[in-house]
Structure 1
Amino acid sequence: MASNQGQSRRRQSQQDLGDKTPSRKGKKPLPEPTHIGHFFVILVLKICRMILFIDTSVKIGVYLMGVMVGSVICDLFKVPNSYFSDKRNVFNQYFVKLGWGWTIVLLGTYVALTSWVYCHGRWLAVRRHLMRLVVATIQWYVCVNVFRQIENVVGMCTATEHTNRDDCIADGKGWLGFDISGHVFLLMHNLLTISEEVKTYKDWRKLGVMLEDEDLESKRKVSAQEIAETKKLYKELTPYIKAVFVAIAFLSVIWEFMLLMSVVYRFHTLPQKVTAAFVAIMCWFVSYRLFYRSDVEWLPCPPGKTKLEYMKIE
């Protein structure tokens, strides 16, 4: 009898202890440990976002101020020669001289992939986004050739028998003219174009979350087929988009560094560099702040324009 009572007390005691134990019901499970490779990818993308997502207006102010201050310092003080003061350095020969080619390849790939996703794989819509790069290419080609024409018209050779720049230089003489810095223009043109185009990745995660919304069809006036196609493309192409995004960030760092080198060394005078910078800014303003705002279907549209409206278009 006593034994039964003891067992009953022990069971009661265990039950009381169980009642006092904090309940774990309703608590979220702990997340699984992050793989080192996944952590590295997150870190790299975070750094790239910090590099590329600085507001374009802020970048313009920094670049313009850098060109002015750097040029003044260059004119007042002789900057010690280095590897980068030689125009034949590797970065100048294989990156800057081919600068628009590098930019157009990476940006073209990026714009094609991202717009293919948020335009539901519709070529006509994607084409409007790619046309922005065609406009940027035309701007680069026209401006560089106009710079050469200006130098030819206003310049003169140290030998009076030559009236053409190419003939003058071929004869070993010096040509004195207003040589607007093609390097400064090209590098700023590259950087400002990149800054505008990569904005479509800023809310890329938001697009992924939006595609899971069951009411998206009624909210954005898109068909179920378009949503399904976009979800499929988003899943398939996002890894490639991330890779290109990282490559563009790396290229932007190179362009900013080479812009600094072009400013601090005596390749051009202060007015020539500042003029080139203002021309690059004018090209950016005319295209991204005026021309691309048109609603005409066969003209280029702003980056990220889509029926999904997943990002704010400035």
Structure 2
Amino acid sequence: MATRRSTHRVEVPIPSASNGTPGSKRTATKIDSAPLAGSPFLPTALEATLLALYPGTLLLGSLFSLLHPAARDATYQPWTQSYAPDQAPSYFARKSNVFNVYFVKIGWFWTTLVFFMLLFSHPSLGPPLNPVLTRRRLQATLRYLSVTVIWIAVTQWFFGPPIIDRSFRWTGGQCAAVYDEGVEDQLKRAEMGDFRGAATHAACKAIGGQWAGGHDISGHVFLLILGSAMLWLEVLPAVLRNEGLREARRIKTNGGLVRSASIEIDADEQPVSDSQSTELGIGVRGALVVLGLSWWMLLMTAAYFHTWFEKFTGLLVAFGTIYAVYFLPRAVPALRQVVGMPGV
């Protein structure tokens, strides 16, 4: 005999965010009354498919660099992470290409811009073009800040040199001088203290040296995956309102049971109609443009820059960050109370 499973909603009195009165109620996360199969630590099928695009793109670009004659026959210089002068197999193989200079190099600016355009323009997150901080906006901002702090630590500053530069030196790398001997540029260790003492890639480059001898995590791969994955995970459930995705996600309750997560609505928030929730606004369109450019530049990076292992470690660091901010809270109720979940 089949077991019948019922679904119910639970109302919990909380202080209103607008007037502080205890009479306001919030409809808590809709959950099934019976425990569900599946682990809250794992992504849904849709999320797994989306995340699989990243290693797939890196693999595609790397295979292209091996199989395409122009890329295979060009001389790649690992110490400059670029091709020899006049040997770049494509416009996108040049570091000076306009997309690298004005998009990738300042990629977190574009990610931040479209994130806040989305945050304050789409009705699923709060009143459009109204700066009021709803619960969803506040928790989305906390997720953005968490990812940004990790981005800064990895690429910009971590109590001194960033993690990328620290890992390069930890693996035996240091700043070295480049000598032109008339035949080809050869990278040699410099005995001069000015070179050996350079603690960051930027400082080494500023004095005419180059990184040599260590493992260089691909900052481009890290940035492009981190920013675009964050935007995808915010857009899919919170804006496209994919009911199947919300129901498929698993969360662990304070009691240790595994439930499915759906929509949570505050009493002081305006309900969102189906037509409003699925509409494309300026924030969604801006995010889609950045997502498209990010994918293309990730493919170009995979095809023309860095070694396989450097790209792989860039992918791992980006995935680790995304998992900590967007997937781990599903299994840790205390963390979920702070940063929330997109669309809930």
User: Are 1:180 and 2:211 matched, yes or no?
Assistant: no
Distance 1:160 1:239, change over 3 A: same
Which structure's residues are more often helix, by fraction? 1
For the Cα contact (< 8 Å) 1:147–1:179, is it kept in 2?
yes
User: What residue is the counterpart of 2:235 in the other structure?
Assistant: 198
For the Cα contact (< 8 Å) 2:117–2:282, is it kept in 1?
no
State how far apart, in whole Å, the 1-side matches of 2:303 and 2:264 are: 53
Which structure's residues are more often strand, by fraction? 2
User: What residue is the counterpart of 2:102 in the other structure?
Assistant: 94
State how far apart, in whole Å, the 1-side matches of 2:60 and 2:277 are: 41
Q: Which has the larger radius of gyration?
A: 1
After superposition, what is the alpha-carbon deviation per residue over 1:46-105, rounded to whole angstroms, capped at 9, x for unaligned?
Answer: xxxxxxxx9331132221133134325425765162221111111111111111111111
Shift of 1:150: 1.4
User: Are 1:259 and 2:329 matched, yes or no?
Assistant: no
**Partner SS, residue 226 of structure 2:** helix
State how far apart, in whole Å, the 2-side matches of 1:57 and 1:205 are: 17
User: What residue is the counterpart of 1:67 in the other structure?
Assistant: 58
Shift of 1:186: 0.4
After superposition, what is the alpha-carbon deviation per residue over 1:207-252, rounded to whole angstroms, capped at 9, x for unaligned?
Answer: xxxxxxxxxxxxx9978x74xx614x76998799622212211211
- Identity of counterpart residues, as a percentage? 25
Give the letter for the 1:276 counterpart: G
Shift of 1:149: 1.6
For the Cα contact (< 8 Å) 1:109–1:244, is it kept in 2?
yes
Unaligned segments of structure 1, at least 5 residues: 1-53, 207-219, 306-314
For the Cα contact (< 8 Å) 1:294–1:301, is it kept in 2?
no
User: What residue is the counterpart of 1:289 in the other structure?
Assistant: 327
Distance 1:221 1:129, change over 3 A: closer
1:7-22 equivalent positions in 2, closer than 5 A: none
| TM-score (ref. length: structure 2) | 0.58
Match of 2:164 among 139, 147, 154: 147
Give the letter for the 1:111 counterpart: L
**Partner SS, residue 203 of structure 1:** coil
Give the letter for the 2:324 counterpart: V
Unaligned segments of structure 2, at least 5 residues: 1-44, 72-87, 156-161, 177-187, 245-262
User: What residue is the counterpart of 2:3 in the other structure?
Assistant: none
Distance 1:287 1:221, change over 3 A: closer
For the Cα contact (< 8 Å) 1:106–1:244, is it kept in 2?
yes
State how far apart, in whole Å, the 2-side matches of 1:221 and 1:69 are: 40
